[in-house]
Chain A
Amino acid sequence: MESTNFLWDLFGRNVWTVLAVISLPLLFVLVYALIAILAELKISAWIQERLGPMRTGPWGILQPVAEVIKLLQKEDITPDQSSKLLYNLAPFIIFTGAYAAFAVIPFSSAFVPAGIDVGLFYVFAIGSISAMGIVMGGWASNNKYSLMGAMRSISQLISYEIPAAMAILSVVVLTSSMNMQEISSMQSGGFWNWFIFGGPGGWSKLWVIPFTIGLTIIYFIASLAETNRVPFDIPEGESELVAGFHTEYSGMKFAMFFFAEYANMFVVSAILTTIFLGGWNSPFGDFLQGPWWGVFWFILKSFFIVLLQIWIRWTLPRFRVDQLMHVGWKVLLPLSFVCFVAISLFAMLN
């Protein structure tokens, strides 16, 4: 792929530009996480008729910064009986898993950190790494709550990756590509060409629209489960498991889990945006279309999905473990298969 990256066009491909390309998403994750935490605080306050943080800065907008500083200052406790190496490694692995996924996310038509051809496949592979981190952290803590949280987490991740993978596979069937940049550029020309509405095509695509909308919803639900958000926050279900797999973590390592959770939220939202909501394309055809506007649209859409996740978190109760499995295996999976078959049929007929 040429010209996937404006930095390489401008400065050539050398050590410094590669470093810049790597650190740009990191910069983005840090800023985004602060904004997302503030959004979580403020939206929850708004839903619950509270004010939320008001003391740190005007309307409390510096609250996330204050929280990060607080977490940095806190004592970093390693339990005596824990498996030290795994215990200390786990938060980094989880964060790496979340951050590595940013490598293939197309922020704009002119910027994707690594425009590899198996982007979607890569995202899925790398997403599973965080499950490993969770199990490591939960097991190494030598805490029964952590262990139970980790066990729940792994079963949850495995069962919800399959419907999510089916949803993504359907798009791959439609596009014959796993390159996220290509998938994005295929959806240009207004919201009617997004894959939530069956992708580009004539009137013959009308009958496939219910299935693509269904897949979008299936992917969204599965992504909630993958990021351990309510109603699927069972691995850390505070009312029964205290804090689940990160019960024993404190200070900076806890902050890593925290950041990873928010980073993961953005990753799944970004994938949803890219494959179903047109990626960096403007919803109005050529209006406000372009590399710079692309960044705006992409972040706007992704952040909208993140806000949706926050909204759901403060509205719904939590599932039980067996009910979660029921939803995953007996509801979402068959539905995603049905949609997949329908879309495959559509792709074959076209």
Chain B
Amino acid sequence: MGEIKRMDLEYSQLDSDRMRINVGPQHPSTHGVLRLEVEVDGEIVTEVVPHLGYLHRSFEKHCEKLNYQQIIPFIDRMDYISAMNNEWPYVMALEKMLDIKVPEKVEYIRVIVAELNRIANHQIAVATFGMDAGAFTPFLYYFRDREAIISILERLSGARLLYNYFRVGGMAADIYPGFKDDCLNVVKQVRKTNAEIMKLLIHNSIFIKRSANVGILTPEVAINYACSGPVLRGSGVAHDLRRDEPYSVYDRFDFEIPVGKGDVGVVGDCWNRNIVRVHEMEQSCRIIEQALAQMPETGDVKAMIPKRIKLPKGEVYMRTENPKGDLGFYIVSNGTDKPERMKARGTSFVNLSVIPEISKGYMFADLILILGSIDIVLGEVDR
């Protein structure tokens, strides 16, 4: 601890007092109520200690007192930016236990809403990352586009952020007329804005100076810390559950897994973690287009929803590719309509744990960028 990596020896031999600064829980760029206790030597970060728990709501304990259907809205509140994706592994786990074959149309609706939500999540991630670097305008461009996605999801589920749209065996409601056109318009707009952001932000030389070669996460460290999602892919590891463990109908789509290639900076730095998200938006657009084309016109989305859910005794673990990484739910059932134990593998929590490892020896301003590039949501970290 306290070892300075990047500065030369002469500097570290100077006997200077170190200062401890609290970043958060009320700080403009902690992405929630995260508190980082930072020790700085001038501007150089020598130690980072994340303190969690400011948003702890006893999610897992709560679940033990709730029916299986009642848990779904709680799951929305974990990673509240990508609530659609959160619900998916949970309902899939239950469907696996109950041995329910979900109608074809439901699978396609799930893919589309999840990918739409993934785009919305990545938009916020890239936008706030830009804002951490001081660029405010891309933030509003992305929020303008996200509004269209939110509107679609609102028309589907009735809610703008916490959807409660998935049901065990089906969906809460069918798609509305004109859904396909709305989706295609969103896809078009996302591509247009991304092309603009590429010029305005991603390849801006100041932005490259700020984010390239900063917070380098080597593939080995990423795997050791069990990082997943764009954080892992930014380090060059092509791991994506949608392809590696195809669930639902993902094996029917043609898409690529973007990884950090190090065209700018080195593989695993903030810039590469960020660019992965931009490329993933494009891949999500491709999936949405294919899913819209393949989706069956007819089908009852509520046909397979059981009246009462009573799981057989046993346990199940199901994980899917959340926008932030692998999200898994481990459910232990005792044969009643409430889980005996419920454990969520929160992606943000796992990804956040790598912060002390990769932010030592960089400048204080870099720490904020590293935190932004990890893309955490405190609802999921604290649960």
Chain A residues in the interface with B (C-beta under 8 A): 44, 47-50, 144-145, 148, 230-231, 233-234, 237-240, 242, 314-323
Contact = CB atoms under 8 A, between A and B. Distances in A.
B57 interface: no
Contact of A233 (B19, B134, B140): B134
A315 B134 contact: no
B210 A49 contact: no
A318 B133 contact: yes
A322 B137 contact: no
Interface in B1-48: 19, 21, 27-29, 43
Interface string B109-130: 0000000000000000000001
Ranked 4 nearest A-B pairs via Cβ: A318-B134, A317-B135, A239-B29, A317-B133
Q: Is the interface of A mostly helix, strand, loop or mixed?
A: loop
A320 B363 contact: yes
Contact of B131 (A47, A231, A239, A319): A239
21 contacts: A48-B136, A49-B140, A50-B140, A144-B21, A148-B364, A230-B134, A231-B206, A233-B134, A239-B29, A239-B368, A240-B367, A240-B368, A314-B136, A315-B137, A315-B200, A316-B134, A316-B135, A319-B209, A319-B210, A320-B210, A322-B43
Nearest to B136: A314
A321 B363 contact: yes
Given A50-B140, A237-B365, A144 B134 contact: no
Interface in B328-371: 363-368
Contacts of A320: 209-210, 363, 365-366
Contacts of B365: 234, 237, 239-240, 320-321
B33 to A, nearest CB: 15
Contact of B201 (A44, A233, A317): A317
B144 interface: yes
A48 B206 CA distance: 20
A244 to B, nearest CB: 11
B204 interface: yes
A317 to B, nearest CB: 4
B140 A48 contact: yes
A178 B21 CA distance: 46
A316 B363 contact: no
Given A317-B204, A321-B365, A322-B363, A239 B210 contact: no
B207 interface: yes
Q: Is the interface of B mostly helix, strand, loop or mixed?
A: helix
A139 to B, nearest CB: 14
B141 interface: yes
Contacts of B364: 148, 240
Contact of B210 (A47, A144, A230, A317): A317
B134 A317 contact: yes
Given A239-B132, A240-B365, A319 B141 contact: no
B137 A231 contact: no
Given A48-B140, A320-B210, A242 B27 contact: yes
B29 A240 contact: yes
A323 B210 contact: yes
A231 B135 CA distance: 9
Contact of B209 (A49, A233, A323): A323
Given A48-B141, A145-B21, A239-B133, 15 more contacts: A48-B136, A49-B141, A148-B43, A231-B134, A231-B206, A238-B28, A239-B368, A315-B200, A316-B134, A317-B207, A318-B135, A318-B206, A320-B363, A320-B366, A323-B210
Contacts of B210: 317-320, 323
Contacts of A242: 27-28
Contact of B134 (A44, A237, A321, A322): A237
Contacts of A148: 43, 364
A144 to B, nearest CB: 5
Contacts of A314: 136-137
B144 to A, nearest CB: 6
Nearest to B206: A317
Contacts of A47: 137
Contacts of A316: 134-135, 204, 206
Contacts of B130: 317
A323 B214 CA distance: 13
A184 B219 CA distance: 61
Nearest to A243: B28
B204 to A, nearest CB: 6
A48 B139 CA distance: 9
Nearest to A315: B137
Given A48-B140, A316-B206, A320-B210, A239 B134 contact: yes
Given A237-B134, A239-B132, A240-B365, A319 B206 contact: yes
A316 B136 CA distance: 8
Contacts of B207: 317
A340 to B, nearest CB: 26
Contacts of A145: 21
A313 B21 CA distance: 28
A321 B134 CA distance: 13
B28 A239 contact: yes
A145 B144 CA distance: 32
Nearest to B144: A49
A291 B140 CA distance: 44
Contacts of A239: 28-29, 131-134, 365, 368
A237 B19 CA distance: 19
Contacts of B201: 317
Nearest to B364: A240
Contacts of A49: 140-141, 144
A12 B342 CA distance: 88
Contacts of B19: 144
Interface in B232-262: none
A164 to B, nearest CB: 20
A181 B69 CA distance: 79
B131 A48 contact: no
Nearest to A322: B363
Interface in B126-168: 130-137, 140-141, 144
Contacts of A315: 135, 137, 200
**Interface core residue of B206, B366, B368 (most chain A CB under 10 Å):** B206
